[in-house]
Amino acid sequence: MDRLKTLPLDVARYLAPFQARSLAMFRFDVVVVGSGVAGSSAALAAAEAGSSVALIAKDSLQETNTVYAQGGMAAVLSPEDSIESHVADTLVVGCGICDVEAVERVVRGGPESIRRLLEWGAKFDLDSQGQLDLSREGGHSHYRIVHAGGAATGVEIQRTLAAAVARHPDIAVFQNNFAIDLISGANGRVIGVLSQTERGELVAFSAAQVILATGGAGQLFRETTNPAIATGDGVAMAFRAGAVLRDPEFFQFHPTCLYIAGAARVLISEIVRGAGGILLDKDRVRFMPEYHPSAELAPRDVVSRACFDRMVKTNDTSVYLDLSDLEKDPHQLFPHISRICSYFGIDIAKDPIPVRPGAHYMIGGIQVDADGRTSVPGLWAAGECSSSGLHGANRMGSNSLLEGMVLGARAGERAAEDGRDFPLIPIDRHLRTDRPNGSSDVKLGIHDMTYSLKSLMWRQMGIVRNGPMILDAAEKVSFWARAVQKLASPEPRSWELLNMLTIAHLASVSAAVREESRGTHFREDFPEPRPAWRAHTQLVPVTEGATIKAVHIGRAPVRDTVPAR
């Protein structure tokens, strides 16, 4: 671990050069960065609490991580189920480091979240009696997954929330805006956001409270279910502003992505296995019962490692998902998946679907309290970019949309309340930053370096890791980050890459420190969980002048919960 001390971070506090006096200024009570389920819920809650709200979207309101969520939203809605059962399932899957208070808060908010979505016009799938058609996924002991269009739940939830946002008179939406950095006041309090419009103009959003809901960082990996916008921007922005991060080594890999060489990876939802789909190897042997008593409905980390192991043992590029024995017609059950597979000549009722694991969900992130407050005054976080304590070391399927709804709304409500006590602090018009504009002698291939990073992370920080691989990745990432920061031109592609490199560095050093296997973090050199590491990894930025020079890594206690399995 001594090698970690020789890996400087050297990330500038502000990525883009700017002079505050030359920026167009927008003033709001609350600024929300991110427009998926967590960001939209936060914006609606803050506006309903009486705040003026700016909602900054990196792309359009129809292009968010939420849109790509297929499975559904978990909520206790049947008499056979209970809050206690949902909590217990979540704690078991979380492998001993969930925050019980966070789990209970989110689970108890499930029924009300579904009610609000229905009130706003969501159209979920119904059974033959006209009731919500509940399904089951890995780790869940009861049928409690609400879904839409079979496996198009995220699309429907995003449509519903976007419509509610558009109707609210106190929410101003700024689409196709790239949020570059958080702007800090003299005392370190966050007082605004620096952003670039689609016309390339730098603007500042001044606010008493800023909420980050920017989603995850799946684009760190070559194989991923995430959209192109998932580059970890919010987590990197918060870290540069001084926020404490937690558990970035935990990154969940979804076991079943459609794998066709040369084609974009498409998620094959866990709801398919919940309906009876089974996993086969290239010899058409069902293998999951060898790995876990729950077979295909085991937690995602178990299924992902089993798929990876079977691919290695059979020397194949994928495993296969077979739906031929489902009781109902899979074309009717999963029309979206059926349509996508048909493009490649796959009839899901007859043909096994080639699948392999892909990066899916960033479990760690910006450390927040029960209300969504970060360690930096004026800054809040919700959804995938945050670390609320709900997921522990392994997220249970369909808990993330639920978390976004419940904790997004709570952060919005509390931020609006705090905004009444902390009036807006104007951005100092004399604030200016100077950054190198790149070298005229050396040109960096941003696309090539991005692909190299994604390939490195997939090989060395993927499903199975070990100490030498992790440290080698950390060293390469540290070197690349210094080169990009010094030589790349200030533009969105460079900023995205710097954000990705920052998160990759932090995830690697955290993975190197955690010398055990727990949940999604599996080290072949430490294949078992260790009691001493039943704790959170906590990362604190070390600032020197206008640069984040290093990161202090420590352990944070876990609130009382079940033992690790």
Report DSSP state, residue 373. Answer: B
The three-state secondary structure class of 525 is coil
Supply the pLDDT for residue 10: 79
Supply the pLDDT for residue 436: 54
Write down the mean pLDDT value for the chain: 91
**Average pLDDT rounded to a whole number, residues 450-475:** 96
Q: From the CB of residue 24, how many other CB atoms can be counted at a distance below 10 Å?
A: 10
Contacts of 35 (CB under 8 A, 6+ apart): 43, 55, 56, 57, 61, 64, 162, 165, 173, 175, 213
Contacts of 118 (CB under 8 A, 6+ apart): 124
513: its two tokens: 């420190």
284 is catalytic: no
3-state secondary structure 108-137: HCHHHHHHHHHHCCCCCCECCCCCECEECC
Residue 565 has pLDDT above 50, yes or no: no
Residue 192 has pLDDT above 50, yes or no: yes
Supply the pLDDT for residue 1: 55
For 163, counting Cβ atoms within 10 Å of its Cβ (0-12 exposed, 13-18 middle, 19+ buried), the class is middle
Contact predicate 473/220, CB 8 Å: no
The single residue of 300, 305, 395, 534 carrying the catalytic annotation is 300
Supply the pLDDT for residue 47: 98
461: its two tokens: 């920080």
**Average pLDDT rounded to a whole number, residues 348-363:** 94
Contacts of 359 (CB under 8 A, 6+ apart): 218, 220, 221, 223, 224, 225, 226, 251, 252, 253, 254, 458, 462
Domains of the chain with bracketed CATH: 2-15+446-556 (1.20.58.100), 18-251+360-421 (3.50.50.60), 253-358 (3.90.700.10)
- Least confidently predicted of 178-187, 205-214, 330-339, 459-468: 330-339
Contact predicate 401/73, CB 8 Å: yes
**Cα separations (Å) of 102 from 215, 370, 387, 419, 484?**
19, 6, 10, 24, 38
Contact predicate 295/243, CB 8 Å: no
d(CA 138, CA 157): 22
**Average pLDDT rounded to a whole number, residues 208-217:** 97
**Average pLDDT rounded to a whole number, residues 218-231:** 93
Q: What are phi and psi of 145, to 5 degrees?
A: -95, 115
Residue 559 has pLDDT above 90, yes or no: no
Supply the pLDDT for residue 564: 44
